Amino acid sequence: MKVNAAPRPPGFRHALVHADDPAELAAAVAPAALAAVRESGAQVALDVSAEAEQALREAFGAELAPVRLTALTSSARESGQTVAAWRARELRALSSSGRPVVVVSAHDPDLDGVDGGFWVELEAALNISLAGLPVTQVCAYPRLPLHAAVGESATASHPLVLRRAGASDNPRFRPPAEVLAALPVAPPHLLGPPDVTLSYNTFELSRVRDAVTEAARVCRLDTTRGEDMVQAVNEVATNAVEHGSPEAGLSVWARDGELVCEVTDTGAIPLPLIGLAPPHPSQARGRGTWIARQLCDSLHVWRAPDGTHVRLLTRA
């Protein structure tokens, strides 16, 4: 099977494979990964359980031993869109050598949450964050996951399906906006009353920067981390009053070693997965959220009845 088929232009390929145990996963994916290594010198990266990694290593054999297997770890504490942004940074760096990357990923039920929403958001977000990268990601899902939304979104978010005969187009694929329409992006966990709140307009952005600077000092962030967070919040806060509503709000939670800032405006956005794809060099505007995602540890966007919310987090 050819994972990186020659007629296709370089770019992200996102394939679904059904596997109910590590042995089935290895049997389904190893031939495709080995073919990519032989044909294009691809690197292989893994985001699977320890049991599945062992099964894959055994299936790869000595032929794949020289290839560095990079573990791409998701975190239950972060949202799917944040993990997609992390993965894009790592895979952009990994593919900068000029060699394509094959990622083998597997569903982890421990990250399902109450409704499986993490996986719905993650798979939709990957179609944006990894677009244009020379990456093939094969995602393994069980045939009958605990949450129906996990199985439904897995089918809907993968343009390709991997079977024994090879990868074929998935007629049930849908764009991210359509996938998320059925299960909107959820808000993050509640933090309690904020330490600082303020309202501002486009002429008062210096108040936002001053508030975040002071909060970074309280959190004991080092100079670089603090400055990065100030810039990230400033980018988001500027977007809020330029594109959302004439007046916006800032909430700040300052803890020792951790700073959380949330920007809220009354505007509406069609798709919360903004700032996941790097802007084109010729694009004069629309860079703010992407820049902010690069500067902080976590950035989550969601819609609510009162408007659009963006939560940023950085740690010491």
Q: Identify whether 54 is part of a domain.
A: yes
Cα radius of gyration (the chain): 21
Residue 205 pLDDT? 98
Tokens of 275: 């700032």
Angle formed at CA 146 by CA 142 and CA 151, multiple of 5 degrees: 50
Mean pLDDT of 146-164: 93
Residues 212-261: tens digit of each pLDDT: 999 999 999 999 999 999 999 999 999 999 999 999 999 999 999 999 99
Q: Does 164 share its domain with 214?
A: no
Q: Does 310 share its domain with 177?
A: no
Last residue of a domain, one of 137, 156, 182: 182
CA distance 84 to 163: 25
Q: Identify whether 305 is part of a domain.
A: yes
Last residue of a domain, one of 150, 182, 214: 182
Instruction: Give the β-pairing of 135-141 and 160-163.
Output: unpaired
> Residue 294's domain spans which residues?
196-315
Residues 70-102: tens digit of each pLDDT: 445 545 568 899 999 989 998 999 899 899 999
Q: What is the CATH number of the domain that holds 228?
A: 3.30.565.10
CA distance 275 to 143: 32
Sorting pLDDT into bands at 50, 70 and 90, what band is 283?
low
CA distance 214 to 60: 52
Residue 67 pLDDT? 47
> Alpha helix (H) ranges present in 115-222?
117-129, 148-156, 176-182, 205-218
Q: Does 176 share its domain with 216?
A: no
Q: Identify whether 7 is part of a domain.
A: no
Q: Does 202 share its domain with 173?
A: no
Angle formed at CA 126 by CA 125 and CA 130, multiple of 5 degrees: 125
Contacts of 258 (CB under 8 A, 6+ apart): 219, 313, 314, 315, 316
Order of strands across the sheet that contains 160-163: 70-71, 43-47, 101-106, 135-141, 13-18, 160-163, 166-169
Contacts of 194 (CB under 8 A, 6+ apart): 251, 252, 253, 262
Cα torsion angle, 42, 173, 120, 231, sign: positive
User: Closest Cα partner for 220 from 314, 110, 93, 101?
Assistant: 314
Q: Identify whether 5 is part of a domain.
A: no
Q: Does 261 share its domain with 132?
A: no
Residue 10 pLDDT? 61
pTM of the model: 0.89
Q: Does 152 share its domain with 266?
A: no
Number of domains in the chain: 2
Element (H, E) at 232: helix 223-239
Residues 94-119: tens digit of each pLDDT: 899 899 999 999 999 988 888 899 99
Mean pLDDT of 301-310: 95
Mean pLDDT of 198-208: 97
Phi/psi class of residue 61: alpha, beta or left (left: φ > 0; alpha: ψ in -120 to 50)? left
Last residue of a domain, one of 124, 153, 182: 182
Residue 6 pLDDT? 35
Q: Over pLDDT 90: what percentage of the chain?
A: 69
Q: Identify whether 22 is part of a domain.
A: yes
Q: Over pLDDT 70: what percentage of the chain?
A: 90
Q: Identify whether 63 is part of a domain.
A: yes
Q: What is the CATH number of the domain that holds 43?
A: 3.40.50
Q: Does 216 share its domain with 154?
A: no
